[in-house]
Amino acid sequence: MQALYAQLLVGLINGSFYALLSLGLAVIFGMLNIINFAHGALYMMGAFCAYFLLNVMGIGYWPALIIAPIVVGIFGMILERTMLQWLSGLDHLYGLLLTFGLALIIQGVFQNYFGSSGLPYSIPDELKGGMNLGFMYLPIYRGWVVIFSLIVCLGTWYLIERTRLGANLRAATENPTLVRAFGINVPRMITLTYGLGVGLAALAGVLSAPINQVRPLMGENVIIVVFAVVVIGGMGSIMGSIITGFALGVIEGLTKYFYPEASNTVVFVLMVLVLLVKPTGLTGRAA
Amino acid sequence: MKSKIIASLLLGTALSVASASFAAAQDKIVKIGVLSDQSGLYADLGGPGSTLAAQMAVEDSGLTAKGWKIDVISGDHQNKPDVGTAIARQWFDVDKADVIADVPNSGVALAVNNVVKEKNGVYINSGAATSDLSNAQCSPNTVHWTYDTYMLAHSTGQALVKAGGDSWFFLTADYAFGAALERDTTAVITANGGKVVGGVKHPLNTSDFSSFLLQAQSSKAKIIGLANAGGDTTNSIKQAAEFGIVKGGQKLAALLLFITDVKAIGLETAQGLNFTETFYWDLNDQTRAFSKKFAARMKNGAPPTMVQAGVYSGLIHYFKALDALGSNPHDGIKVVEKMKSMPTDDPLFGKGEIQPNGRTIHSAYLFEVKKPSESKAPWDFYKLIGTVPGDQAFTPLAQSTCALLKK
């Protein structure tokens, strides 16, 4: 039983990464109608950004939590301005192909310079060590990841669903022409939204740098799972992807305990089941 | 007039037959295919570095000066046996390759082994670990150069059991390599009076090991044996440190660790780990000289790994055999027999021999990862703590299950 609690908690930790990443994807899909396949590569860039800040400029983990998402977010906004904006109104497939190509290029460039085995990034001193919870030894850093990503996820949800800014944003996706008539700069808002989604990916990258190694292909492994999370949660649903992210982390953790060989596939089995029963995802609305 | 034409035709035929047989006697064309993981989790320990090692072997062999024409091509097997065998077949059938070198990932290596045998090529494997290549799956076309699971189990495994680590829990990569390493290490543990209390098989290329590590922790085993490689091993070690496993009194056994892995973990976390390799760049003047040349040509300035060094040395020995034969017979079995008949001696692995089952015998070294304060230069990571002579490190011939030995 003790072991089970521990697995549940470990699942929650992984779930926080899934939630942060799928949240960014959901924001981008919900507001821009783009299936952002470059999300994994941008997550990787966030981690590399933290690595460079530390090793080149001597800037530590805490400032990196803010600087890296901004830097990568600006990079994302440049991508949106120069390429993605021309795809609005076209079929989803074009956005998917473009971002997929971008992901391959970004990963290829990083791999060319840094190889594939990864660079170390150590846990900040303040969060080293762990607590004995009785049923398991919880590294403080992992506990921090769960709490911090919960706050960020709920904050983003609040921003989009409960504030005036979010209301404008949602209105702009429903009817851009009308919103423009109220004097709101819709293209700029779309660019900033993409920057926000990308920033969330970069933030997840910084958070994961001390746990996983910083390596060019770190996003490739995780992005497929995250897409499954978004599909299960319902494309474009903010709360849906947060909840599904955490829930799937826990389910995956349990699978690792009961039948480890299947831990890589369980998410996709669930995805197939959900698609068969409710094609719009658990919380999605019919298109 | 007619007779003149016939005469000239005859002369022409005679000349062309003569030149054809001349060409056969003097065939000095060789094509080497370096098949590796070029972009995945094993790319840094093999990959482009293995191709570079092969090119350096060609340059250092001195054969080009003797009129040989040697080409090196490379391919990416993506850690998929079907991709690996497809490339191997194409190399033999279309590109007329003679040798396939490297091939990390035991699953792919065993599949390619069959293709090379079928096509009667030469297979110099450096990157794969499974000891099956010189046992149940041995082939007259195959030389297994650098290391294998038997050697890893008998050096690192044995040393740890003898030091008191008598109960083990395995974290095993779920494919041919992990299974072979766990099997060979388990044999060593039980033979030395220890026992295996449990284990978990994880998928290849896993990024999160926390669940598996918690299971290892609750097993209360003294040693957690890592029967995995590359990124899987580095992640296991880093995350074990995070969960306080080493502080809790359990010891990690990295059964297979490469220098690129130590770099990725960082000395802070990796210090004190014991493991075995058959090559390290800082062993002696010769290895240092080679590694300096190698690193200068690597994009990231990394010294050669054991696998890349093995590609170089294996090919150097192959070229010696070709030189002794005088020309390329394009007959894999014949060349491998020649390689087995000559003692091996090269600057990187020293003196040794290739046994009749295809296993190359050379010394193995037990290393310990240095403390950050002891490391004086980039890539200065290892402290040599013991040397196992070749005849003790690898499977004794009497125990080998290779069918070639039963003639």
A175 burial (CB, 10 Å; 0-12 / 13-18 / 19+) is exposed
Per-residue DSSP letter, B305? P
* pLDDT value at B372 more than 80: yes
**What residues contact residue A118 under an 8 Å CB cut-off, 6+ apart?**
A212, A213, A214, A215, A218, B231, B234, B264
Select the residue of A111, A260, A263 nearest B39 (Cβ to Cβ): A111
Closest CA to B209 of B195, B190, B196, B224: B224
* pLDDT value at B48 more than 50: yes
Q: Report the C-alpha gap between A136 and A89 in whole angstroms.
A: 51
A218 touches chain B (CB under 8 A): yes
**What residues contact residue B230 under an 8 Å CB cut-off, 6+ apart?**
A117, B41, B42, B44, B45, B258, B261
Q: Which residue has the higher pLDDT, A6 or B48?
A: B48
Q: Which residue has the higher pLDDT, A263 or A79?
A: A79
Average pLDDT over chain B reads: 91
Please give, rounded to a whole number of angstroms, the shortest distance from the CA of B324 to a CA of chain A. Answer: 38
B interface with A, Cβ–Cβ below 8 Å: 39-41, 43-45, 47, 174, 200-203, 205-208, 210-212, 214-215, 217-218, 230-231, 234-235, 238-239, 242-244, 248, 260-261, 263-266, 268-269, 299-300, 302
A114 touches chain B (CB under 8 A): yes
* Total beta-carbon pairs less than 8 A apart between chain A and chain B: 109
Question: What's the mean pLDDT in A106-134?
Answer: 84
pLDDT, residue A287, reads: 45
What is the complex's ipTM, to 2 decimals? 0.76
Phi, psi at B157, each rounded to 5°:
-60, -50
Block residue for tokens 């290490």: B185
pLDDT, residue B21, reads: 46
* pLDDT value at B329 more than 90: yes
The percent of residues above 70 in pLDDT, for chain A, comes to: 98
Determine if residue B395 is left, alpha or beta; phi over 0 gives left, psi from -120 to 50 gives alpha, anything else beta.
Answer: beta
Q: pLDDT band at residue B11, thresholds of 50, 70 and 90?
A: low
pLDDT, residue B22, reads: 47
Please give, rounded to a whole number of angstroms, the shortest distance from the CA of A14 to a CA of chain B. Answer: 8
Phi, psi at B226, each rounded to 5°:
-95, 95
Please state the separation of Cα B270 from the chain's center in Å. 23
Strands B344-346 and B350-354: antiparallel
pLDDT tens string B293-302:
999 999 889 9
Q: Which residue has the higher pLDDT, A212 or B277?
A: B277
pLDDT, residue A159, reads: 92
Residues of B in contact with A1 (CB under 8 A): none
Q: pLDDT band at residue B186, thresholds of 50, 70 and 90?
A: very high
* pLDDT value at A284 more than 90: no
Q: Find the closest chain B residue to A114 by CA distance.
A: B300
* pLDDT value at A278 more than 70: yes
pLDDT, residue B7, reads: 56
Task: Write the DSSP assignment of A111-148 as a string of letters.
Answer: HHHH-SS-B--PPPGGG-SEEE-SS-EEEHHHHHHHHH
Q: Report the C-alpha gap between B365 and B288 in whole angstroms.
A: 16
Contact A3 B214 (CB under 8 A): yes
Please give, rounded to a whole number of angstroms, the shortest distance from the CA of B206 to a CA of chain A. Answer: 8
Question: What's the mean pLDDT in B278-299?
Answer: 95
Residues of A in contact with B300 (CB under 8 A): 113-115
Residue A81 structure tokens? 């301005």
Output helix, strand, coil percentages for chain A, rounded to the nearest 5: 75, 5, 20
Question: What's the mean pLDDT in B132-142?
Answer: 95
pLDDT, residue B17, reads: 47
Phi, psi at A237, each rounded to 5°:
-90, 120
Q: pLDDT band at residue B9, thresholds of 50, 70 and 90?
A: low
pLDDT, residue B299, reads: 84
Select the residue of A141, A142, A253 nearest B211 (Cβ to Cβ): A253
* pLDDT value at B218 more than 90: no
Q: pLDDT band at residue A173, thresholds of 50, 70 and 90?
A: confident
How many other C-beta atoms lie within 10 A of the C-beta of residue A151?
10
Cα torsion angle, A205, A209, A212, A218, sign? positive
pLDDT tens string B300-322:
899 999 999 999 999 999 999 99
pLDDT, residue B10, reads: 53
Average pLDDT over chain A reads: 88
CB B327 within 8 A of CB B333: no
Task: Write the DSSP assignment of B306-361 as a string of letters.
Answer: HHHHHHHHHHHHHHHHHHHHSS----HHHHHHHHHHS-EEETTTEEEEE-TTSBEE
Block residue for tokens 């995070």: B242
Please state the separation of Cα B14 from the chain's center in Å. 48
Block residue for tokens 């799928």: A22
**What residues contact residue B93 under an 8 Å CB cut-off, 6+ apart?**
B119
Contact B235 A213 (CB under 8 A): yes
* pLDDT value at B23 more than 50: no
3 state SS of B102: strand
Residues of A in contact with B212 (CB under 8 A): 256, 260
DSSP H helices, B153-284, are 158-162, 176-191, 210-218, 231-242, 259-265, 267-270
pLDDT tens string A52-103:
999 999 999 999 999 999 999 999 999 999 998 888 778 888 999 999 999 9
Block residue for tokens 């890296």: A68
Question: What's the mean pLDDT in B387-398?
Answer: 92
pLDDT, residue B181, reads: 95
pLDDT, residue B206, reads: 83
The percent of residues above 90 in pLDDT, for chain B, comes to: 77
pLDDT, residue B335, reads: 96
How many other C-beta atoms lie within 10 A of the C-beta of residue B397?
15
